[in-house]
Every structure is written in C-alpha cells, then in structure tokens.
Structure 1
Amino acid sequence: MTAELSFLRQQARTQRFTLGAPKEFRVSPDGATVLFLRAASGTDRRNSLWSLDLGTGTESVVVDAAELLPGEEELPPEERARRERARETSGGVVGYAVDGEFRIATFSLSGKLFTVDLADGTITTLVDGAAIDPRPNAAGTHVAYVRDRGLRIADLGTGSDTLLIGEDGEDGEDGEDIAWGLAEFIAAEEMNRARGYWWSPDGRAVLVERTDRSAVPRWNIADPANPDTPVDTVAYPAAGSSNVDVSLSFLGLDGSRVDVERGDWEYLAAVHWSVGGPPLIAVQSRDQKWYEIHAVDPADGSTRRLHAEDDEHWIDLTAGVPAWTADGRLVRVSPADGSHRLIVDGVAVTDPVLQVRSVLHVGEEVLFSASAADPTQIHVYRTSGGSVERLSTSDGVHIGSGGTEVTVLSSWSLERSGPEVSVLSDGKAVAGITSSTVDPGIVPEPRWLTVGERGLRAALLLPRGYEPADGPLPVLLDPYGGPHAQRVLQSRNAFLTSQWLADQGFAVLVADGRGTPGRGPAWEREIAGALAEVTLADQVDALRATAAKHPELDLGKVAIRGWSYGGYLSALAVLRRPDVFHAGVAGAPVTDWSLYDTHYTERYLGTPQDEPDSYRRNSLIADAPELRSALLLVHGLADDNVFVAHSLRLSSALLAAGRAHTFLPLAGATHMSPQGEDMAENLMLTQVRWIKRELGVE
C-alpha cells in the first residue's frame, strides 16, 4: 500500500481492511487439520482455500482461486442474491463444505462446481456452470447442489448427475415461482438461515425446503442510468403482505419422497439433522410471539413438539440452535432471569450474568459466544461437564469456530488492526493462523463512556492531537442505533471510519441505545412499537450526557450520519429534533415502514392493517413539512432490501411541502455502500464537505 493512497481509498480497496483475514474455519475429525479461506494479500478480493497442519504448523494452499479460474467471475443470479443477503463483497472461493471424514471439499467458483481431494489436492470440475450451494453427504459419495431452482445430486462414484426434484415445474405448477433447496429472502435477510437443504447423517436422503413465491408482491428495480437494461423484477414480502410459502420434504436418493406435516407456523427459522437425534425444525408464528421446536419423523413426516415458548412482544432467534448433542440432549437458547441463557436438556447451564449471542458448535459439549457485564466485549465459551469455561482471554470481540476440543479463535481488539487468529487444543493455544490484512495507518483513540440514566454505552473520538485550547468542536453522531447491531465494540476496526471523520475536525460520538444486542431481553424489547421514539431519545440523551462531561463539544453545531437503520435515525433526527440536530446525512434510510419486509418490521410494529397508528408514528413521510434542518438523502438505485422508493417518497413529500433538501442517487449501488475506490472516496468526501457547509464550519 503506497503512502500516496488515501485512507478512504485504502478502505475501499481492502474492503474495510478485512481482505487477507482468514475465515470460514473447519476442523478435521481427528483434530489434526484446519481448513480456512483467505485472500493472498490484504488487497486481493479473491479468497482461496487453505489448510493448516497442526502437527507442523505449516499453512498450504489447497485451492488457488486465481490459478483455477483466472479473470472476472460470472455469477448466477441466485448466487448474486445470496451474496447480497450475506453482505459478501469478496470473490473467489467464498464458501465450501466437507464430508464427514475430511476426504473431499466442494465449492463453487464463478458458478462452476468443483471438488478437491483433500489428501492429494486433485481438483475436479463437477458441473460447468450455475451451481449453487454444493454440499457433499457425510460419506463423501454424493454432492447435492441447486441449479435452475431444482435440487440435483451428483454421484461421485458413477459420475451421474440427476435432478432429484424441481425445475420446469411440478404437478402442473409454474416453475418460475417454485424453488427447491434455496433459502427464501426472509430466511437469508432476517433469520440468519442461508441454507435450503440438509443431508441425513447416513447420506441417503435430503431434507429439502420448497418455496412458493407466487403470492408475494412483485417489485421492480430499474436502472435509470442504463435505460436499455431490462427491469429486474423481484418478489418482495413487504409488511402486511404475503410471505413465501415454505414447506419441507424428505427426498431419498432412491427416489422416495415424504412430505413433512405442515403446522400453523409462518416461518421456518432453523433446521438441524445430526446423529444425536431425529431432524429438528424451529418455527415461528407470523407475529413472532410464539416459537416451537419439533422433532420430525423421516418415515412419515409427522412432527412432535419438544419445546414451545411465547412472549408478549416477540421471540428472539439465536444462530446455531436448536441442536442435539452427540448423546441426544436438546440444546436451545431461551430468555430466563433477565438473560438469554443456554439451555441443555431443559437445564440452564449459563449464569444470568451471561447474554448468549450464538451457538457455534454442538458435539459432546457446546461452543458458544456471549457477553458478560460489559456488552462492548464478546467472548467464546464452552460447556464442560455441566460447567462453563471462557476460552478467549483478552479484552475484545472474539469469534469462535471448530469445536470444544479444537477451537479456532479470531480475536479483534483495540490493540491491533485486523484479527489475531489462534488455534486452541483443549483450551490451550497450540498454533496461529496468519492474517494478512493491511495496516490502515490510523489508530483510533476512543474515549469509553457510560452515559445517561440508562447507562448507554458510547465512544467519543476527537481529532488526534486535539487540545482544549484549540476551541470547541462541531459534533457528528455516527450511529447505527437499531436492533441486531452494535457500533460500540472493543475492536480497533470498528472505529476506523469514525476516527477518520474526527480527524476532519469533528467530535464524533457513537452510541448504542435500547434495542441493541448484548444487554438482555428487556433492553431489546424497549423498542416494541416505538422504534422512532426510543432510538432517537437515546441518541439525544447520549449527546447531552456526553457534552456535560466534555465541554469541548459545540452543541450549536451538531450533525448526524448513518446508513440503513442509521440512515433512518439520521433523517428522523433532523425531522423531529431540529432543536438538537442541525444537519443529517441519511444513507439508504427506511422512511415508510410499510415498504420494508415482513419479518423485521412486523416484529416491532405489527402489521399495517392491525397497527396503522404505529406505522404512522414510526415512519417519516408525514414529518416532511416539519423539516427545519439540512438533510442529505443518499440511496442506491439497485437496492433490493431498502428500495430507493423510501428516499424518493420522502423527497417528493419534502418538495410538496416546500422543504429544501439534497438527494444523491447512486446508480447501480445496492444496499451495501459503494465498493469502488473512486465512488467510495468521493461519497465520503462529499458528505464531509456538505456537513461542514451546513454547519458553517471551515
């Protein structure tokens, strides 16, 4: 990285300084080998498949993506959509799967399906095009994958490739609306479920999701910058409208089919099938106020309820559960005693002080992540004979992979940029894995704060080298501020952009309010029916409480910027609290909650049909005549998550009310902020110049 390259260009080129970090770890059954993905350098966007020999400490390339398939990738539409849902911006090998004995790995590259023999490194092209989510069975004899909305099976012994189900319609149905083996939009975007099929432990059958989107509204995405480009029509389940219809079937390699009994549930939240017990499904009602775990009988498709819970607001979904332990104990996460607790065989094994974030692996014991009293840190734990042991030892944010015996820790902290990756054997470090991320050249200097009567966690960043004698600083709030995501975390990378903004002459405040994770069910439910009121109030409280401790903040010059929910919060701030916020940059904001998806929106607001007042109070269109502060709207025209209609409708309402504002459309951009170096750099510089101008700052 040259000295002439600006921070913003470095950030774009390195995908926020994450390229070159190893990820997607798999540990072999004998604990001798770790597979992982990593790019060749901190500026290479293509991941390759690597292997670490724990006996020798040697890292070696198993699949070199650039050598295997040079040039630009050509992705099938389903794969592009899958990556958008996962916010995956890198290329090359972005995912892979292995058989039970670590003999073969399968992966797709530019839509082609490959297998690699993990013993001798032989790579075989199995399918030459449009293969999605390839996975071998445990025996390593067959590979399943999705193509043209149908599930196919490749027999590695005979070389045959068979359509198991789907494609060209079935039983007279329209094949365009029916898909087998693909997770629907809501599952991938909101429920953290990216898979649509699951192999049986013996490898002789597959439990497959069938989706029917025929009743889902069709929304159109045009490309105004290229009017000759066909309109992209997508099925989008907006709040109050029909969801994709989801069902399950057991499909045997012998051609048999058993349909799973369909209950009165709306959402298929999770599926698990292991040697520990029968297949498990977790399901939710449309209003998400009840949740059930069922065991499914592959012989006749009948289901048996194992667990049920309900809540007056909603039931949270936790990644990695439900699951069976190897000896047949049911693992789940449920609220109890004010905490999200790990429950094994009906017994809470974590103390109330821990807020369980996710379950990472279930075998004989359980590997999971959780936060204790400090929500700015996330640690990795394991169960051990009825007790709980913390495996991560340093302050920071830790991500765990592997199992409880051999564990891979990716540790992000304030002490370094990029992760430190270590391999633990029985809790003791035995090896490291190289991380090749680029040094950003900025060391953030956050001042950690707990402010206000609610103890809001916040971080204040001032220009490096700033002294009080330099005079008061204009203030820039830089929040996300909504559910499911935190900004205030003990990781250097979390504050790189905020520190750069501070160095432009601002006091930058980042605050996590009610609704953000890590502080328990009651804290998260404070936003029920009141997204606008609660999340905005917490940003105002954080600002005022911080200014009371730091007189260098100039409350006469306050701006706010954000993207997605942060964009909504920014527009909300200038519309409803112009006495506090004098300028706001709203990137990809939700402005009308009736235009956002079912699962997310209805969890907090109900449906537009049942709760019209709630939608009116929490949406922004009716507030347009009240705009008194400066507002810059930024939105990607190809956004298929928060459609550009949100910003267009607010802009139209503002114009009709005679309220001046600025609207910056981004041609070809999706919900992910622009990735190209020129666009990324100039978009940020444009925001900074605009904020300074509106605040009257030189």
Structure 2
Amino acid sequence: MNILKSFMFIVFFVTTLVSAQQKEIALEEIWNDAFKTEKLTALHSMKNGKQYSVLNSGKHNSQIDIYDYKTLTKVATLVSSEQLEGIEMFSDYKFSDDEKKVLLATDVESIYRHSNQGYYYVYDTVSEKLMLISEAKIQEPTFSPDGTKVAYGLNNNIYYKDLDSGKTTQLTYDGEKNKIINGITDWVYEEEFAFVKAFEWNATGSKIAFLRFNEEDVPEFSMDIYGQELYPTQQVFKYPKAGEVNSEVSLHVYDLASDEAKEVVLTKAYADYYIPRFKWTNDANVLSAQFMNRHQNELDLWLINAENLKGNLVLAETDTAYIDVTSNLTFLKDNSFIWTSETDGYNHIYHYDKSGTLINQVTSGNWEVTSYYGYDTDTERIFYQSTEDGSINRSVYSVKLNGKQKKRLTNDVGTNSAAFSTDFTYFINTYSSTETPTVYTLNNAKTGDVIKPIIDNDKLVQKLSDYDISTKEFSTIKINGYDLNMWTIKPSNFDASKTYPLLMFQYSGPGSQKVANSWNGDKDYWHQHLAQQGYIIACVDGRGTGFKGAAFKKVTQNELGKYEVEDQIATAKQLAKLPYIDEHNIGIWGWSYGGFMSSNALLKGNDTFSMAIAVAPVTSWRFYDTIYTERYMKTPEENPSGYDENSPINHVDKLEGAFLLIHGSGDDNVHVQNTMRMVEALVQADKQFEWMIYPDKKHSINTGENTKTHLYKKMTRFIHDTLGKDRKSQKESENN
C-alpha cells in the first residue's frame, strides 16, 4: 500500500512537472505585472544610522514606516495619509536634514522624462501639523539646511516659503514660458545631463545658487496632441537640434539677507558652453561649478567665492572624444575632493586637494567604477560598485582613501547595488542575476557579511517554476577583432539537429549595456515568450557600448551607427554559420538608439537580415538634440558625412526585407518626425513596409491600459508573419 502510494505520488509529481513545463507566458501577463518583483519603495536611511524609512502604499492609503536595521522590524509609522485631512495618498517623501519635517508629494504629474509637478505639503513630525506649500502645482521643493524654509520652482521662477511665518518670497521675476527659466533646467539639460533642479541652498541656508536659461533664440518644436476633444491642441517647446542655437545659461547666487541675485562671471571666456553640474562645498561661501565646452571634450571645475563671485580654476580635463559628466564629486571636511574620471582609460576614483593637486588615484585596473556610494569620514573608507568580477557583473567594494585595504563586500556573482546607512554601519544590498530574482539583504558595511534577509521574491521563483523558461546563456563572440559580450535564449526543447529562426535584440548606444547578469525585465519575458514559439533570441553588445574601457566605448566617435552596425551584421553572419540557425530567417529589433540600429542593420545588411522592427528610432541624427548628438558627432556643419552616411533615412533604396516602424506621436524625445520622414523616403523609393503610430504616446509608449500589450502583440504577429513561416502555427501543427 505504501509502495503504491509512493508510486502514485511520483506519477503525479512527474505529470505535474511535465504539464508545468508546458505553460507558456501570455503577453497579457507580462504587462499586467504577473511577474512583478517585490521591491523596497523610497528607501531612506535615517540620520541616526540605526533605522531606515520606507513608503508603503495600499489602495487608499500611504504611509512612511520606520524600520530598525538590526532587527528589520517596523518600529513606528511616522505619518499616514489616513491621519491627514485633505490628503488621500502621497506618492513620495523627502526629509529635512534634522528629520523633524517631511515633504509629501501629492497629485504629481509628469512633464518630461525626469520632471514633474505636483502639490506638496510639509508635515511637522513634532507638532503633527500639515502645511500646503503653494496653491499651485510646483516643481522640486527643497528644504533649507535648517528646515525652516522650502525653495521651489513655479512658472519658470524661484520662490521660497518661510515655514515659521508662512511668508512666501519670490527670488526671480523674469521667468516666462519658452523664454526664460530660473532654477529648473531646460528640455535638453533635463534629458541629456539628467537633472531638473537647477538651484541649491548653501550650507547655512543664507544663499541659493541657481542656473538661468535664456532659451528665447532656441528653435521651437511643436507636437499635435489629439486627446479626446473635438479639436487637437499643440504642445510647443524649445528643442535645440544638432547644430542649432542652445539656451544661454548663466550661474547666479542669491543672497537672502540682501534679497539680491548676482551673476557669476569667470575670468575665462567661454564662447558656447554648458554648466552640467554645480554644487556648494562644505564652506558656505564656496560654490563649485563645472563648465564644459560645446564639443564636451573639455571640462573645467571652478571653486567660486560666493561673496565676491571670483572663481579659481582647480581642475581641467580634456579628451580626444568626450567627457562623461557624473554626480560623483564629493567634498571632504578640508574641501579636498573625490572625483571620478576616465583619465587612465577606465573610470576610476581620484582624490584631489582643494587647489586641484592630485593626492592619489584611489582605484585602478582594467575595470570600471560604475557607482560611487560615498565616503565614511570615521573610517576614511570609500564605498563603490564596480565591474571587477567581469563587465556583465556588478559587485560592491570598500577601499581606504589612500587606495589601500580594498575589500569586496558582496559575494554573489551577478548585479549587486548598495544603499548605505547614514553612518556607514550597514547597507541594504540589492542582488539579482539571470537565475535569481531581486533579493534584498541587510549587510555589515565593514565586513560585507549578511545580517538578515529582507525580501527574497521566492514566491515569484515558485510561480515561474510552472512556466517553460529557458536559460539565458552568456558567452563572448569574436567580432572584428574584439571579444563581444553575448547572451542567447534558445527554446527549452532545443534540438541542435533542427534549424531555428534567429531574432537579435540590441540597443548599442554609447556607454550602454544590454548583456548584463541581472534579473528579467519586461523585454526578457517577451523574449522568453518568443523562445516558446520556436525562435532563438540573441543579444550582443558591440563596439561603442560601455564598461570595457574608454577606447572600446569611444571608437564610434564621429561615426555613430558605423562600427555598431558592422558588429551586428558580422555577428549575424557568424551565427548564421551555426548548423541550427536558419540563415535565411534572421531578424533584428531595437528601441530608440536600438531602432536606429535595427533600421541600419536591415538596410546595410540586406544580404543578412530578412526583417527588422524599429521602435521610436532616430532616422537621422540631424533631427536629434544638441547635447547628445554633438557629444559624439560634433555639429552637422563640422561632420556632414558622419551624419548622413550612417543615417538609415539615406539608405532606404537598400530595403529588401520586411520592415516595421513604430512610434508614439507624442514623443518629445525622439520626435515622430523621424518616422514620418523615413516613411516618406521609403514611399518615394517605392519600398513596401509596415508602420504603426500610437496617438499621443511618449518615447516609452507606456500610457494606457492596453498600450504595451497591443504593441508587443503587433510585433509578435509581425515576427510570426515575416521571420520565415508563422512559427506559432507551425509549432501548434508539430504538437498535433
């Protein structure tokens, strides 16, 4: 009887396992968050270094909960929307330096990629009183260091509110839409230098430094917004395309005592320049500012006396190609500073004295520092993330300021990132790999030892065990003299004696990476869905991508789309020689820069690729913005052949395979103009193709309940119809 029961259990287990392996990923599941990982939301380390706060939200309530690092137990709820009159939910929060007050964000709406506006309240944790900062929606509210004031942007001007008196003071008065912006970046700075708040309090709260943008002469771009009304509206904004006029940017210092703002004028004459970063030092009267030429291959770091506004040039970097701007500048107590640079060919950490004299290079080697986490003054240790375990991996390390006693703080190979407690006693490590969904652990910052697990996503692992999931295989492939990183996904029932169509995915933009040892994103699940339909998916990071040194990354300078396309075509040709790859059915797809690449690959590699999908592609670099494009290409006047010879719009006559173009009409980044001009060129070349416009959708095409599902269903159908036979129908026929 026991033997029979055991046998029946084994049969049941095997049957269940087999049936579980037959379960396929439905496209609806991917974008309905069926495979969503649990996360820690809005994590903030408290000033005492012993606790951290997290934003926890339900359907009709949000609250800030305080947790103890040592026990990971919740010790208090700091504030809940249930106890606040007039606030049903808040979506984000920010503490004052003393943590006695907290900013609560409500009814926040997006403007561009990084910018938004909303109603903001200040909650006093001592008095438990709530104060609305402004009756209007504002941008980037920021506490003064002593927590008595909040500065913010409104209607292109800067204001601050005194929280004790309730009085609001206006700092600037000349702000006007599409003309003058104070304290908030213009479109191109936000997109390409990745910051929005262009004002900052000094250490004592007596001064505010800010940028002023005069964009009056910048050409305007307009987009029709179709909406739901009888007549569409227009969105008109300043967008400087390659070679066109930029905003005139200037740096100013406002003194609260005198209620006066003065412009910083430096001794060095800059004809056409950017100010990509500025930051107060620990000295309340010393402001740092980085000035960069338009070609972005010269970067100057200035220290400016806030009283007389005289500047001292302390560091000047140059590069034959370009310099990447970072936010890693850290001033120590003596105003010596930590800086990251690619000076020696790889991104590393340097320590300079306050006059700009190099004290020492802290890290070195044929690997990259990928994140700088901070400096602990008590132990004189720097904490950082790097590629020391291979360019597709990330590990966390600490090292003394003098470059000695380096210690690896994470053990698992994959992608590790750290959030340190204020006193650098603990860090919460976020780890994932292609085999392990995101895991959060509490770690000792001195030894790296795991103290306790926080979130493990085991439920997701258990859920995915019911699905037919293939392994993502990592390798390198020798292409054009380089060992390129590659991953491959094959059908789980892969049979080397059969042939399979190949779909290649890539992005390929300067400094990017798609071949990374980290957990799945939405596109990964879609690739798994395609593998279940009988396709092999491959991704290769070619020349120009990141984390393998400056020379590898910057080889594409002045020739965007040349070497990257050559590598994708050569990869396809090499993979086509494998006996199980159908050489007549090789496709490629990508989004944004990846769409630019897939278009070029299909056209220039028309003897290799039989189909391509391009989502939101740049079709000519003449249509894209100044900061990004000129960083890699100079201006069209200086480099016309670089612009034109590598833009797909100029190679439409080469189209032989199947081509699908997709764009959102409300894309403020890569304008739908790119696709419209490409369509017209294809039509006049008498080339057949497919295309789809998503009304009012932005660059990510992600608004609307069914938009993403519709998009990926369309791409999936196109792949079935063009990459050989209808693979899904064929697969169903084989199963029957």
Q: Return the TM-score normalized by structure 2.
A: 0.84
Corresponding residue SS for 1:516: coil
- Once the two structures are superposed, the pairs formed by residues 168-247 of structure 1 within 5 Å of their partners are 169=174, 176-224=178-226, 228-247=231-250
| Aligned residue number for residue 286 of structure 1 | 294
Q: Distance in 2 between matches of 1:375 and 1:665?
A: 37
Residues 302, 155 of structure 1: alpha-carbon distance in 2 compared, 3 angstrom cutoff: same
- The question of 1:579 aligning with 2:583 is answered no
Q: Distance in 2 between matches of 1:451 and 1:5?
A: 30
Q: Distance in 2 between matches of 1:16 and 1:68?
A: 34
Residues 624, 327 of structure 1: alpha-carbon distance in 2 compared, 3 angstrom cutoff: same
| Aligned residue number for residue 353 of structure 1 | 366
Query: Residues 239 and 602 of structure 1 are in contact (CA less than 8 Å); yes or no, is this contact kept in structure 2?
Result: yes
Amino acid at match of 1:293: L
Match of 2:45 among 4, 27, 31: 27
Q: Distance in 2 between matches of 1:593 and 1:72?
A: 46
Amino acid at match of 1:258: K
- The question of 1:445 aligning with 2:471 is answered yes
Query: Residues 8 and 680 of structure 1 are in contact (CA less than 8 Å); yes or no, is this contact kept in structure 2?
Result: no
Identical amino acids, percent of aligned pairs? 23
Unaligned runs of 5+ in 1: 74-91
Corresponding residue SS for 1:31: coil
Q: Distance in 1 between matches of 2:684 and 2:60?
A: 45
Query: Residues 512 and 546 of structure 2 are in contact (CA less than 8 Å); yes or no, is this contact kept in structure 1?
Result: yes
Match of 2:170 among 138, 163, 166: 163
| Aligned residue number for residue 321 of structure 2 | 313
Shift of 1:335: 1.9
Query: Residues 201 and 209 of structure 2 are in contact (CA less than 8 Å); yes or no, is this contact kept in structure 1?
Result: yes
Q: Distance in 1 between matches of 2:135 and 2:369?
A: 42
- Once the two structures are superposed, the pairs formed by residues 293-692 of structure 1 within 5 Å of their partners are 293-318=301-326, 320-345=327-352, 346=358, 347-362=360-375, 364=377, 365-372=381-388, 374-386=390-402, 387=404, 388-402=406-420, 404-426=424-446, 427-434=448-455, 439=460, 441=464, 443-452=469-478, 453-469=481-497, 471-494=498-521, 495-548=524-577, 550-692=578-720
Structure 1 residues 73-98: Cα deviation after superposition (integer angstroms, max 9, x where no partner): 9xxxxxxxxxxxxxxxxxx524x432
Corresponding residue SS for 1:660: coil
| Aligned residue number for residue 27 of structure 2 | 8
- Once the two structures are superposed, the pairs formed by residues 100-139 of structure 1 within 5 Å of their partners are 100-110=97-107, 111-118=118-125, 123-139=130-146
Amino acid at match of 1:602: E
Shift of 1:500: 2.4
Corresponding residue SS for 2:525: helix
Query: Residues 193 and 276 of structure 2 are in contact (CA less than 8 Å); yes or no, is this contact kept in structure 1?
Result: yes
Shift of 1:61: 5.0
Structure 1 residues 502-524: Cα deviation after superposition (integer angstroms, max 9, x where no partner): 22221000111111111111011
Query: Residues 157 and 181 of structure 2 are in contact (CA less than 8 Å); yes or no, is this contact kept in structure 1?
Result: yes
Structure 1 residues 258-309: Cα deviation after superposition (integer angstroms, max 9, x where no partner): 3212551611121222426832112211011111111111112221111111
Shift of 1:165: 2.0
Residues 37, 366 of structure 1: alpha-carbon distance in 2 compared, 3 angstrom cutoff: farther
Q: Distance in 2 between matches of 1:203 and 1:673?
A: 41
- The question of 1:257 aligning with 2:261 is answered yes
Amino acid at match of 2:475: L
Residues 415, 361 of structure 1: alpha-carbon distance in 2 compared, 3 angstrom cutoff: same
Shift of 1:185: 2.0
Shift of 1:689: 1.2
Query: Residues 113 and 128 of structure 1 are in contact (CA less than 8 Å); yes or no, is this contact kept in structure 2?
Result: no
Amino acid at match of 2:53: L
Shift of 1:602: 0.7
Corresponding residue SS for 1:456: strand
Q: Distance in 2 between matches of 1:490 and 1:52?
A: 30
Q: Distance in 2 between matches of 1:71 and 1:456?
A: 52
Q: Distance in 1 between matches of 2:636 and 2:79?
A: 50
Query: Residues 482 and 513 of structure 1 are in contact (CA less than 8 Å); yes or no, is this contact kept in structure 2?
Result: no
Residues 444, 69 of structure 1: alpha-carbon distance in 2 compared, 3 angstrom cutoff: farther
Q: Distance in 2 between matches of 1:124 and 1:4?
A: 53
Corresponding residue SS for 1:258: strand
Q: Distance in 1 between matches of 2:397 and 2:609?
A: 42
Shift of 1:491: 0.9
Larger radius of gyration: 2
Q: Distance in 1 between matches of 2:335 and 2:309?
A: 20
Residues 207, 457 of structure 1: alpha-carbon distance in 2 compared, 3 angstrom cutoff: same
Corresponding residue SS for 2:682: helix
Q: Distance in 2 between matches of 1:23 and 1:304?
A: 41
Amino acid at match of 1:222: D
Q: Distance in 2 between matches of 1:107 and 1:634?
A: 38
Query: Residues 281 and 295 of structure 1 are in contact (CA less than 8 Å); yes or no, is this contact kept in structure 2?
Result: yes
Q: Return the TM-score normalized by structure 1.
A: 0.89
Residues 553, 113 of structure 1: alpha-carbon distance in 2 compared, 3 angstrom cutoff: same
Corresponding residue SS for 2:693: strand
Q: Which moved more, 1:400-409 or 1:206-215?
A: 400-409
Amino acid at match of 1:240: G
Query: Residues 283 and 291 of structure 1 are in contact (CA less than 8 Å); yes or no, is this contact kept in structure 2?
Result: yes
Q: Which moved more, 1:215-224 or 1:252-261?
A: 252-261
| Aligned residue number for residue 97 of structure 1 | 94
Residues 309, 197 of structure 1: alpha-carbon distance in 2 compared, 3 angstrom cutoff: same
Query: Residues 476 and 508 of structure 1 are in contact (CA less than 8 Å); yes or no, is this contact kept in structure 2?
Result: yes
Query: Residues 330 and 338 of structure 2 are in contact (CA less than 8 Å); yes or no, is this contact kept in structure 1?
Result: yes
Q: Which moved more, 1:365-374 or 1:588-597?
A: 365-374
Corresponding residue SS for 1:231: strand
Shift of 1:182: 0.7
| Aligned residue number for residue 89 of structure 1 | none
Q: Distance in 1 between matches of 2:60 and 2:589?
A: 28
Residues 528, 342 of structure 1: alpha-carbon distance in 2 compared, 3 angstrom cutoff: same
Residues 422, 223 of structure 1: alpha-carbon distance in 2 compared, 3 angstrom cutoff: same
Shift of 1:47: 7.6
Query: Residues 226 and 696 of structure 2 are in contact (CA less than 8 Å); yes or no, is this contact kept in structure 1?
Result: no
Shift of 1:405: 3.8
| Aligned residue number for residue 150 of structure 2 | 143
Shift of 1:367: 2.9
| Aligned residue number for residue 87 of structure 1 | none
Residues 291, 233 of structure 1: alpha-carbon distance in 2 compared, 3 angstrom cutoff: same
Q: Distance in 1 between matches of 2:81 and 2:536?
A: 43
Unaligned runs of 5+ in 2: 1-21, 108-117, 353-357, 727-736
Q: Distance in 1 between matches of 2:582 and 2:57?
A: 44
Q: Distance in 2 between matches of 1:613 and 1:45?
A: 57
Structure 1 residues 426-469: Cα deviation after superposition (integer angstroms, max 9, x where no partner): 34444554477983736551111111141100100012233335
Shift of 1:641: 0.2
Q: Distance in 1 between matches of 2:425 and 2:364?
A: 22
Q: Distance in 2 between matches of 1:119 and 1:367?
A: 34
Amino acid at match of 2:385: S
Corresponding residue SS for 2:482: coil
| Aligned residue number for residue 76 of structure 1 | none
Give the total of aligned pairs: 665
Q: Which moved more, 1:340-349 or 1:394-403?
A: 394-403
